Chains A and B, each alone.
Chain A
Amino acid sequence: MIFEKIVILSGIILAHILNGSNLFDFGPEIKPDFMILLILFFSLRKGEMAGLWVGFIGGLLSDAGLGGEEGTGGKIYYKIGVHSLSFSIIGYLLGKFGRSFYNENYISITIYAFGVTLLMRALTYTLFSFFFYNNLNYSLFICSIYNAVLAPLTFFVLSWTYKLQPSEGLR
């Protein structure tokens, strides 16, 4: 049980590391978001609680990656909470309601990956605009398309790594 959680946590950290590296980049603007694909995978395969917690922890790591910014009086301001909120909510809702419409095939995975990436990034963008300022540089569509392309391969690798078959998580 604990070993399983440690392996899942390792996957979250690996996804975060891959997001910070340039191994899968096509130029400065075309980058994937592996964290969203991981949350999508666990939400669809293991259900809403896995989606919620993987989303929350993965979101916290992503928020930590935004770094702090020194403000007046040497006080450092962080942006913790943006990704954790959006990822955990979408992960939970996806595990709760999204599985009934999901069929395990390449087209379905691709469509889900595109839609969920777009939704998660749109929610993150909205939260950031609400709590901080309007950010025009956040890529919504390019990242979603790239994630959709990478999703079948990622699902295959994750299914093999975690030994989770499509029917396993379904009630």
Chain B
Amino acid sequence: MLWDRIQQLSEILSLLFCIGFSIVSLVWNSNLVVKTVASSQKAVDVITSSVDSAGGIFSRVYQRIQSNDALRKERDSYAKLVDEYKIYSHDNKILLNENINLRKDLEFQPKIDYPTTRAEVLSVRLNSIYRTIVINKGKADKIYPFMPVISRAVNESGDIIPAIVGKVIASNSSSAVVQPIINSNFNMGVQVEGGSLWAILSGNSGRGTYVILNFLDSGVIINPKLYSQIGPVLADENGLEKVGIAGREIYSSNGGGVFPAGLPIGVIVEEGPRAGSFKTAYVKPYVKFDELNYVTIIKKLPDKWVEDWPEEKNITIENPFYGELNFPGEEPESKQTSKDQKLTVLKPQVSEQRDISKKPMSNSPTPTPKKQEVMKKMPLLDEDDEDVLRKLEGNSP
């Protein structure tokens, strides 16, 4: 009787189950059932990569046969070149040191120097509502979330460069999920080539595989017409570089602490829709996501965030100067400092705690001759840097 009743209601019960399960999973999206369902993807991804490999086997064999002869010739010519370059190894060392010194002098960002791991792409889901790339390396290979992912790509000049693919967002023992820069939830700080112009890059461009630069200053000119007519113009004697930023490369700025600075991302192609008082621009990424076979993971964990700055290292400025100027000879109205005038300023660049009000310049004792000598050598120090000066003098308490 009951079974008959269930049979009669099977349609409505099935419908309620499907809808109920889906809604519960969406609302409570980290329960055990959801985790189990999500982990099934791992097995499917392995099969997907096998299907891809099987499908591409014929074209790959043909390409490899074709490129084999060319590569052999190229190898022989490079072998000769290597022999020639061995002579210049000494010069190389000198040039390398010179380069490091010049970088320091010009305040260039140092070269990226992190360990990397190469991984095979298991699947690229560009057609789904949340674009992801699954790779075959995970926690077993020390791949953790927020590690930058790059790949070899060709820039506008035809050079092979390491370009940003995205970042790792989740990893398990043997695979990891990469969030590509064309994912709608992707954001990072970037810098435009050849100028002090920064912006936020977002994957939610609404235009295929392009990304969008947000928060560009409204005074910036983005000139697609000029770019399409004469190609990417960076600088010439006519000052064309001032006309527009279309055609310029964009790089990671390390503003978010995830990507090392200076990694190329793509090239600005045209102006996007205006967002309030800011401009936007579309960027064509260098990486061709539909042709990705391998990626490189930079084993760099995110930089320490500002939130980690310990509270005891904050600078407390008592009696901040907001009022009228006291001209020479005039006495300040009151030397007493009320508690509500205290101002706390976060300043992560300073490594030592300083209480400015406790050591006013006028009341500081006359520096010792040794201290004066140190201060001459290091003009950025002032008399208040007692701790530093004490250490330099060798009188640390």
Contact = CB atoms under 8 A, between A and B. Distances in A.
Interface of A: 13, 16-23, 25, 27-29, 31-33, 48-49, 52-53, 55-56, 59-70, 75-85, 88-89, 92, 124-125, 127-128, 131-139, 143
B34 A56 contact: no
A106 to B, nearest CB: 24
B308 to A, nearest CB: 14
A80 B129 CA distance: 12
A118 to B, nearest CB: 14
Interface of B: 10-11, 14-15, 18-19, 21-27, 29-30, 34-35, 37-41, 44-45, 47-48, 51-52, 55, 123-132, 134, 145-146, 169-170, 177, 179, 182-185, 203-209, 288-290
Those 7 A-B pairs whose CB atoms lie nearest each other, nearest first: A136-B206, A85-B22, A81-B25, A81-B26, A67-B177, A20-B123, A31-B127
Contacts of B129: 66, 82-83, 124-125, 128, 135, 138
Given A61-B40, A81-B26, A137-B204, A19 B127 contact: yes
B128 A62 contact: yes
A59 to B, nearest CB: 7
Nearest to B290: A28
B44 A67 contact: no
A16 B41 CA distance: 10
Given A61-B40, A80-B37, 6 more contacts: A20-B123, A53-B18, A70-B145, A79-B26, A81-B26, A136-B184
Contacts of B207: 137
Contacts of B127: 19, 31-33, 139, 143
A56 B184 contact: no
A69 B29 contact: no
A124 B184 CA distance: 15
Given A22-B52, A67-B177, A133 B184 contact: yes
A66 B128 contact: yes
A74 to B, nearest CB: 8
A139 to B, nearest CB: 7
B44 A65 contact: yes
Given A22-B290, A27-B290, A66-B130, A80 B204 contact: no
B208 A29 contact: yes
29 contacts: A17-B47, A17-B48, A18-B51, A19-B128, A21-B51, A23-B52, A29-B126, A52-B15, A52-B18, A56-B22, A61-B41, A64-B41, A66-B129, A68-B177, A69-B179, A76-B170, A77-B29, A78-B25, A78-B38, A79-B130, A80-B37, A83-B129, A84-B21, A88-B15, A88-B18, A89-B19, A92-B15, A135-B184, A143-B127
A128 B204 CA distance: 14
B170 A17 contact: no
B34 A80 contact: yes
A8 to B, nearest CB: 15
B219 to A, nearest CB: 26
B290 A67 contact: no
B274 to A, nearest CB: 16
